[in-house]
Structure 1
Amino acid sequence: MNHRKTLLSAAILTCLSFGAQAQQAAAGSPDPTELDTVQVTGIRGSVQKSLDSKREAAAHVEVVSAEDIGKLPAKNVADTLQRVAGVNVSASSGSEGGFDESERVSLRGTGASLTQTLVNGHLVGTGDWLVSNQSGNVGRSVSYALFPAEIVDQVVVNKGSQAKLVEGGAAGTINILTRKPLDFAKDFTGEATLGGVYSDLPGKTEPQFSTLLNWKNASNDFGVLVQTFVENRSLRRDGQEVVGGYSQIAPTSAAATANPELAGLYYPNLIGSTLFTQKRERKGGSFDIQYKPTDNLTLGLNGFYSKLEANNYNRNFMLWSGQFVPNRLPQSYTTDNGVITGASYAADAAATLTPYAVYDQIARISESESKYIALDADWQASERLGVKFQAGTTRGSGKTPRQDTLELAVAGNAGASWALGGTTTPIDWTLGDAGTLDSALNSYASIFGIQGSNAQDKEDWFSSDAELYFDSGLLSTLDFGVRYAEHVRENSGGINQTLLSGALAGYAFPATGLSYPGDFAGTIGGSYPSDIWYYSEAQLAAINDALADRDPATRGYWQGAYRVKERNSAAYVQANFAGERWSGNLGVRYVHTAGSNRYNQSTPDGYVPVTVDNNYGRFLPSLNFKYELSEGLVGRFSASRTMTRPDYSDLAGYVSLTDLTHTGSGGNPNLKPIISSNADLALEWYFMPRGLLAASVYYMDLKDFIAPQTRSVVYKDQTASTAAGSDVYATYLMSTPDNIDAKVKGLELTYEQPLGESFGVSANYTYADGETDGGGPVLGTSKSTYNLSGYFERDRISARVSYTWRSSFYFGPRRSYPFYQDDFGTLSATVNYRFNDRFSLSLDGLNLNNPVYKYYTKMDGNSLPYAFYENGRQYYLNLHISF
């Protein structure tokens, strides 16, 4: 096969822009061929297009087309990708627990930070709406809540690496490709979607709206595409949380002194009835302009903007067992393996100043956004040489401008009890006669939390890529190029608000408020308080206006301030080979990072800003080989070395030191990047049109994987230095992230087949086994994940039902405890009816089985319940108009 003529003819005859070519090249998908220009519609057509792209690709990829996305029950790109073999999604970015929309994507049993997400072949700035993820839990992953499914033309999941791929995905790379104006068949295309979403738990209906307008001239050398979207949605999450984790009764406590059998026993602290509500408004759009001034030059300018307004109100009424368990003897109690599994405490009028319960009400103004603008140029310099340039800038942010909070306590003569029922059942707990909060003690009132947090994620980049074609021999093309980027992730910290001194004197709290809904936590199970009042957001804001100390001069949250700046340079060369029934590539990418990490270190007199430089270079070789064993039977092998830089909060987390004990915690600015040596072997049988049976095995050797560790570090002892009048240094035992090694191996099975003219099924299964050196868990590793899907399609009507299940996995530490999410599955469905070529109607149902997200912790041989959440179901009804 003459690959040079095929590629050159495709570039000239189809007039494809650099943007589309660069996207596919960066994604590892095949270069454009006649196959890619065929117009396909509907579920069956999109399945065929996706499988054709997968089959022709030089490397191991999975492809989801625009028609797939339009016909799947999914409202963001992550919801779509969760049905792909080897892909896992989570409904939160940290330990805040799951919501009703997929948030993060990861590959092959690893954490989301090890998966690189690109848009049109480049990085995109991101942000988180939750304040704790703006400063304390800042990873490398992208918030998929900012990317609606409507903007997508194709998503390519790269399971193998190539030298020309942008580095950053140790486990793999996902490339989101947007539509291009010159790719449309008609000179003018207009589309609009009008509809709404009903969320059954809050019982509210909100509007949804999107548009697409594309125009290109008759000569197909100039085109403009504009898309917009406005999507509102109400969210309610009911739950139970063990906010304080599990504490131990100290041997010297009053309770253990009176009954030594209680010494050292664990008990749940701060068991909460949690009501979270939120109004989400995602709005934005994209544009793309393509211009071909000559037959051999294509210019492109494209941009994207998405903003998620995510104001929320969290109420948590908690049994404050840490206040009375160490000081009171229980009436009765039961234990199991060192844990108090149940206990009952009597009311005691003599203990009226000891609160048995505490109540937090937290209302936040929150938002996140992502945007970029990129300029592309594709120049076919000669028959043998093609050159592509790209330059751009991207910005992301997560902000919490205001946080209104109030903490109140309940008098201690209430009495209380709890009973654990295992990791799958919420804790039963009761509070006595003060449980309505009527006797809340103003003397325990508190205001807390961070406001004014403003996390920024920025990158400016330039890349130049060339492709040299050859007429004969095994070498078909030679790719080479360079890339340079400056990336900054930072947060100024914000304000750590508190209660104004003396403000409570004479202050009268509002006497009335609202109440938890009557069906609160109806699906979760368990027995605990639910008839709870709360202040309205306006009342809470008025309380904070009167009582909160928000002086930036004295209340600056220096612990949350950080800045990571990286100057990343890369160069690569990749040789692409082809024979009669085989093809492959061999290449190497060299990457150099010049990093500067700024964080704050605590001292007895305040804090000290510290800056640490961290520079390194790495060679990342890759090999991909594909062989057509027989008609329809394709074998693949790949080997590569990939890299992911450490999470930002791991590099620049603030350092807290205790001089008395020479202990501390914090980030680690000297972390090395994670280097993964990967091997992948796959067999794909395309046994019929739209039919696939595939299996693959993979192995990742993760050198310098990052996990919490205890290590010895030398710091200046500020207390001793002050006393001595000179610098005194000491060795501190620190709890910090550190480099260790880990391994992940697994198996993927995929089956796709049409049944007759109207039906089809697909299924896949992923097995992953990962552990760190020493036998610890790897973040994000689910042993088993499977997807089942069936579809029906005729001329006017189509339908699809999908079920996804994921086994338990380690989510990371939460308040120093190991945090796991338990098994869960989600059921979704969609029905589409086409009235004619201009009008169609769709009904989508998400989370139809109303999954309960369950979390637990492991300690001293016990698995103990930590949190339970339900979010309800969502129904989308949309009218689609084409003109």
Structure 2
Amino acid sequence: MASASVLAQNPPPPSPPEPTPPQPAESAAVTQLDTVSVTGYRQSLQFATDAKRDSTGFTDSIFAEDLGKFPDTNIAESLTRIPGIQLNRDVNGEGLNIAIRGLGSSFTKTLINGASVATASIGLDATNQNREVDLNIFPTEFFNQVTVYKSPQASLPEGGAAGVVDMRSVRPFDMPGTHVTYHLQADYNDVSEKTSPRGSSIFSWTNDEGTFGTLVGVTSSRGKIGVEGFETIGWTNPNLTNAQCGNGGAAGGFPALGERCNVTGGNGWRIPDVVPDNASTRAAGLTPGTPIDAAWLLANNPGLTTDQIGEALIPRLGRPVYMSGDRDRDAVLASMEWRPSDRLHVWVDALYTKAKRTNERIDVNLIGRNGQLIPIDMQLDANNVVTDATFTNAQFFLEYRPYEEDVQYWHVTPGATFWFTDDVKLDVEANMSRSWMFRESPTILINSPFTTVQYANDGGVPTFNSDLDLNDPNLGWSWAGGGRVNVQNEKRVTETSGVRADLQFGEDSRNVRVGVAWDRNARTIRGFDNSPAWEDLVCRGLNPDGSVPDPRPACDGNAGALITNAELASYLLPGPQGFITVDGNRFKNATDYYRYRDEAPESGGPNTGGATGGFTERTLAAYIELNGETEIWNRNLRFNAGMRWASTDQDIAGPVTIGGVRQYQTLTGDYSEWLPSFSAAWDVADKVVLRMSGSRTMTRPNPSSMLPSTVFTDQSAQVASQGNPELTPYLSTNFDLGGEWYTGDEGFVGLTLFNKRVEGYTFQGVTTRPFLDLGIPFEDLTETQRDAINNRGGPGVATVNVNQQVNADAALNIRGWEAIWVQPLSFVFDGLGFMANYTKIDISTEGRDASALSGNVYGVAPSLWNATAYWENDVASLRLSYSWQEGAFGTGPNQQGIPEAQIFGDDRGQLDLSAGYTLANLPSKPQITFNILNITGEERRSNFWYANAVNDLYDPGTTYTIGIRGTF
């Protein structure tokens, strides 16, 4: 008797089984519709095809063909072979997390062995601020099945409005007997120009009686990253004065937004009122002290009007960037299974992974933001993007940021299945996980001398040429003019725990299941900042007794500073990308950095963009589920129907500063939801299955939007900003219709139409609330604020207008279709085949607050596809895969103060190769593997408003991998 329990994650039957492929999570007794007589990649496709055919709802799976042999080196990369999956990549090209069918990655619920997963890692891009789960922390060798549920079941944990991803770790009885699997490989990246070794081993044993088994796996990787890129932090235009515009306005004033020379806003670049006196302006032939007015600008920029000059777009901080560092990870997996009788199955799974990541990031910035570039012979295109110019009075600054990060994660899931009779069984499971991260990211920023720059932008990456050698430590780099140092740390902790019980009455194909679950999910983010103290020592200067001078000097590197401008060059080195870097270890040791790091006080948030604070959610859920079979027109119909109820209460805590006093405030909230689901699959012909599904799913709101962060913006205490703990979940009403035609072996053609109506999206709104509802002690207000509230009736009567995220009175409609075709071509050439999928998505909004939703639905690719051609025989295999995503808006409008400006991601495709050859006559049958990732060296690019205004661009390079694996 096989178990259909999702909670138990498909434990094998109680009697000792023959070796079988891993079973899909939706049905542990997949009917063998086609004989599995292939191995390797084709076998993993065969498992996935059989699992899909026997499923009731809309699910897709990726299988490992053998112990420790997942088809890809990254789980997120594997999931791109499933229709409707959008892969989000880190800046080094590594797959990080996934999104499903038009909703962001925070709408995907991730499980390991049926239990919730939460990770503290944030990636190089530092984008994990919501409920995303970074998949790159999990070794692929430890998993043999990943299932994506696009239609829910009542027995599945709630929380994934888009879908649920369940990763099943390997267990002893997946391959009965005694086995040792080993895997060694080396990666070479052509940007880092370094080799990264990686190795793993899995030992699995079951006794002869088939009653007990253990498995232990270890894996270790020593990765190297190398990323070249270009960043702008947005684009900006000049803030011309009335005199420079020539509009006849008041001297010294500025045109209002919408008027001449300031039509689009922005205004981050300030052309000086007079020519400054420095070496760059004199070398450019300008006369210091000359007024820069409209006549001057027109004379020195022939062919342009002052209206055009006022709209001229340049990067705010155009900067070549280079990253290099380590990506080390060690992990251990342990699993035990016990089957003392045919009525009991007990298991314990445990996973621990630890990552050490460093990133020596350097960039050199042409200062546009708050700079004072003087344009000469400037040329613009039709969109006012500067294509060519000479900029004098220009200056660069170096930004040196050596990130260092430690991440740990552990996860334990004990469970058991009890068969009381052949038709009554109980599944119970508990889980506990904890993940924590510490990142330190100091910054050292120094300025170059003024210079004249030849600027050009041909639509690729802007280039800057000057007579300065930016790779010369003795150029004259200085603290003066905006230099700084920062000591900034971040600590994160995530925790999950839970227990579940599922009681099934009936056989696996016809049954009633009832269950209860209790889960706890918590996260804390804390930022720390000791920058002022370190800066006082390094570049400002302290009194002999260590106190801070009054008045506090600027960070200018003058006498008294620990590292003066004259001494600065001794801490600089030529860099790898044509501009200097910092001798980081020497600088830290000389400036007592580690003491300042360790003594850093808590701040409002880390420099990654998160906010200091945390949440704890406790959820009680119960469900009833009916599984059955019947016949319509002599054809089998399988169905699954259920209802899940989930009630959540939460505590949201964070620091607030009221009346100059910083303290932690805790806000509470609760909500409950009923989540019905129904799925049916009808075998309308021998090789054709039609499916339909209707359901309601949910995702809990963004914790960062619920943090207190209470701030009064006026002395009358009438207006405040605050997190909103009363945010309700995103609710999605879903309908899916589709089917598949199974062509034989691993082959099938499938088409699915889907529709989601999502309600509960949030936007920045204003609510009027009684003062007492804010949770702030009245005595903590300033005297002026207390008097103002008393004048409005006192704290029990006075109301406050609170700016906070609120649920929109609107709906988001996501409609689309997805197609997949898996086809063996053995009739052409034995072992040949292909797999391809395509997804098209359309998003619209409706309702009173429809326009407010626009800022919440970005980053969704309107279309994406993936194709793989494969060939293999008994000893050799070859795969060529290409994945492509259409570009999409990444942000809302009003970027950098320009109302119409948005950031748009470019289309991106990636071509990968995987090959292997098995030495079948040697012990363990070792397989030699060779992979190439990103064969064509595709970059990741986004643009600011226009296609020739790059926002950021990263080149992760091409990675070559050679390895060997085998099993004894």
The TM tier, using the shorter chain, reads 0.7 to 0.9
Report the Cα distance in structure 2 between the residues aligned to 1:862 and 1:220, rounded to whole angstroms. 63
Report the Cα distance in structure 1 between the residues aligned to 2:586 and 2:233, rounded to whole angstroms. 25
1:462–1:108 distance in 2 versus 1, CA, 3 Å: same
- Does residue 763 of the first structure (1) align with residue 756 of the second (2)? no
1:462 to 493, 499, 505: 499
- Does residue 104 of the first structure (1) align with residue 97 of the second (2)? yes
Q: Which residue of 2 aligns with 1:306?
A: 353
Q: Which residue of 2 aligns with 1:590?
A: 645
Report the Cα distance in structure 2 between the residues aligned to 1:293 and 1:394, rounded to whole angstroms. 28
Report the Cα distance in structure 2 between the residues aligned to 1:112 and 1:120, rounded to whole angstroms. 20
Q: Which residue of 2 aligns with 1:48?
A: 46
Matched to 1:723, the amino acid is T
Indicate the larger mover: 283-292 or 556-565.
556-565
Matched to 1:394, the amino acid is S
1:810 to 867, 885, 889: 889
- Does residue 138 of the first structure (1) align with residue 129 of the second (2)? yes
Q: Which residue of 2 aligns with 1:833?
A: 917
Indicate the larger mover: 647-656 or 547-556.
547-556
**What is the 5 A alignment of 1:556-567?**
556-557=603-604, 560-567=611-618
Per-residue CA distance 1:174-212 (angstroms, 9 max, x = gap): 111111212214x10111112211111111112111001
Report the Cα distance in structure 2 between the residues aligned to 1:283 and 1:264, rounded to whole angstroms. 52
Report the Cα distance in structure 1 between the residues aligned to 2:497 and 2:405, rounded to whole angstroms. 26
2:674 to 619, 623, 632: 619
1:418–1:510 distance in 2 versus 1, CA, 3 Å: closer
Measure how far apart 1:730 and its partner are: 8.2
Report the Cα distance in structure 1 between the residues aligned to 2:163 and 2:785, rounded to whole angstroms. 53
Per-residue CA distance 1:215-263 (angstroms, 9 max, x = gap): 0000111000111100111111111101254366265467498346355
Measure how far apart 1:670 and its partner are: 2.9
- Is the Cα contact below 8 Å between 1:712 and 1:734 reproduced in 2? yes
- Is the Cα contact below 8 Å between 1:30 and 1:56 reproduced in 2? no
In structure 2, the residue corresponding to 1:169 is in which secondary structure?
A: coil
Report the Cα distance in structure 2 between the residues aligned to 1:624 and 1:877, rounded to whole angstroms. 44
Measure how far apart 1:415 and its partner are: 2.4
- Does residue 857 of the first structure (1) align with residue 944 of the second (2)? yes
Indicate the larger mover: 34-43 or 862-871.
34-43
Report the Cα distance in structure 2 between the residues aligned to 1:687 and 1:132, rounded to whole angstroms. 43
Report the Cα distance in structure 1 between the residues aligned to 2:652 and 2:660, rounded to whole angstroms. 23
Identity %: 23
Q: Which residue of 2 aligns with 1:776?
A: 854
Q: Which residue of 2 aligns with 1:879?
A: 964
Measure how far apart 1:543 and its partner are: 5.2
Q: Which residue of 2 aligns with 1:793?
A: 872
Matched to 1:571, the amino acid is A
Report the Cα distance in structure 2 between the residues aligned to 1:864 and 1:551, rounded to whole angstroms. 41
Measure how far apart 1:607 and its partner are: 3.9
In structure 2, the residue corresponding to 1:781 is in which secondary structure?
A: coil
Report the Cα distance in structure 2 between the residues aligned to 1:281 and 1:831, rounded to whole angstroms. 25
- Is the Cα contact below 8 Å between 2:374 and 2:391 reproduced in 1? no
Q: Which residue of 2 aligns with 1:680?
A: 736
1:720–1:48 distance in 2 versus 1, CA, 3 Å: closer
In structure 1, the residue corresponding to 2:951 is in which secondary structure?
A: strand
Indicate the larger mover: 160-169 or 714-723.
714-723
1:127–1:558 distance in 2 versus 1, CA, 3 Å: closer
Measure how far apart 1:848 and its partner are: 1.2
Matched to 1:483, the amino acid is A
Matched to 1:854, the amino acid is R
1:389–1:447 distance in 2 versus 1, CA, 3 Å: farther
Number of aligned residue pairs: 838
Larger radius of gyration: 2
Report the Cα distance in structure 2 between the residues aligned to 1:320 and 1:435, rounded to whole angstroms. 14
Measure how far apart 1:48 and its partner are: 1.3
Structure 1 unaligned segments of length 5 or more: list them: 93-97, 349-354, 521-530
Measure how far apart 1:384 and its partner are: 2.1
Report the Cα distance in structure 2 between the residues aligned to 1:419 and 1:607, rounded to whole angstroms. 49
Q: Which residue of 2 aligns with 1:271?
A: 318
Measure how far apart 1:753 and its partner are: 0.8
Q: Which residue of 2 aligns with 1:511?
A: 570
- Does residue 495 of the first structure (1) align with residue 529 of the second (2)? yes
Q: Which residue of 1 aligns with 2:418?
A: 379
In structure 1, the residue corresponding to 2:870 is in which secondary structure?
A: strand
1:71–1:306 distance in 2 versus 1, CA, 3 Å: closer
Q: Which residue of 2 aligns with 1:532?
A: 579
Q: Which residue of 2 aligns with 1:216?
A: 206
Structure 2 unaligned segments of length 5 or more: list them: 242-252, 255-269, 274-292, 295-305, 542-556, 790-797
**What is the 5 A alignment of 1:533-682?**
533-542=580-589, 544-545=591-592, 550=597, 552=599, 556-557=603-604, 560-580=611-631, 581-602=636-657, 605=660, 607-652=662-707, 654=709, 658-659=713-714, 667-682=723-738
Report the Cα distance in structure 1 between the residues aligned to 2:129 and 2:3, rounded to whole angstroms. 45
Measure how far apart 1:554 and its partner are: 5.5
- Is the Cα contact below 8 Å between 1:283 and 1:307 reproduced in 2? yes
Measure how far apart 1:649 and its partner are: 1.9
In structure 2, the residue corresponding to 1:500 is in which secondary structure?
A: helix
1:812–1:176 distance in 2 versus 1, CA, 3 Å: farther
Q: Larger relative CO (CA 8 A, sep 6+): 1 or 2?
A: 1
Per-residue CA distance 1:122-177 (angstroms, 9 max, x = gap): 112312155884xx851112111111221111111111111111111101111111
Indicate the larger mover: 165-174 or 259-268.
259-268
**What is the 5 A alignment of 1:657-736?**
658-659=713-714, 667-706=723-762, 708-709=763-764, 711=766, 721-723=782-784, 725-726=786-787, 728=789, 734=803, 736=805
- Does residue 239 of the first structure (1) align with residue 273 of the second (2)? no
Per-residue CA distance 1:650-669 (angstroms, 9 max, x = gap): 22274566448998877543
TM-score scaled by structure 1? 0.87
Indicate the larger mover: 456-465 or 810-819.
810-819
- Is the Cα contact below 8 Å between 2:363 and 2:398 reproduced in 1? yes
- Is the Cα contact below 8 Å between 2:824 and 2:833 reproduced in 1? yes
Matched to 1:631, the amino acid is D
Q: Which residue of 2 aligns with 1:316?
A: 363
In structure 1, the residue corresponding to 2:151 is in which secondary structure?
A: coil
- Is the Cα contact below 8 Å between 1:574 and 1:585 reproduced in 2? yes
- Does residue 120 of the first structure (1) align with residue 109 of the second (2)? no
**What is the 5 A alignment of 1:151-190?**
151-185=142-176, 187-190=177-180
**What is the 5 A alignment of 1:378-457?**
378-400=417-439, 402-411=440-449, 413-422=450-459, 425-433=460-468, 435-436=470-471, 438-444=475-481, 446-449=483-486, 451-457=488-494
1:431–1:69 distance in 2 versus 1, CA, 3 Å: farther
Report the Cα distance in structure 2 between the residues aligned to 1:481 and 1:865, rounded to whole angstroms. 53
1:285–1:137 distance in 2 versus 1, CA, 3 Å: closer
Measure how far apart 1:470 and its partner are: 6.3
Q: Which residue of 1 aligns with 2:249?
A: none
Matched to 2:930, the amino acid is L
- Is the Cα contact below 8 Å between 2:442 and 2:487 reproduced in 1? no
1:821 to 887, 892, 905: 905
Matched to 1:231, the amino acid is S
Matched to 1:630, the amino acid is A
- Is the Cα contact below 8 Å between 2:487 and 2:597 reproduced in 1? no
Report the Cα distance in structure 1 between the residues aligned to 2:363 and 2:311, rounded to whole angstroms. 28
1:672–1:313 distance in 2 versus 1, CA, 3 Å: same
- Is the Cα contact below 8 Å between 1:806 and 1:824 reproduced in 2? yes
Q: Which residue of 2 aligns with 1:868?
A: 953
1:746–1:346 distance in 2 versus 1, CA, 3 Å: closer
In structure 2, the residue corresponding to 1:856 is in which secondary structure?
A: strand
- Is the Cα contact below 8 Å between 1:462 and 1:483 reproduced in 2? yes
Measure how far apart 1:845 and its partner are: 1.2
In structure 2, the residue corresponding to 1:709 is in which secondary structure?
A: strand
Q: Which residue of 1 aligns with 2:932?
A: 845
Counting strand residues as a fraction of each chain, which structure ranks higher? 1
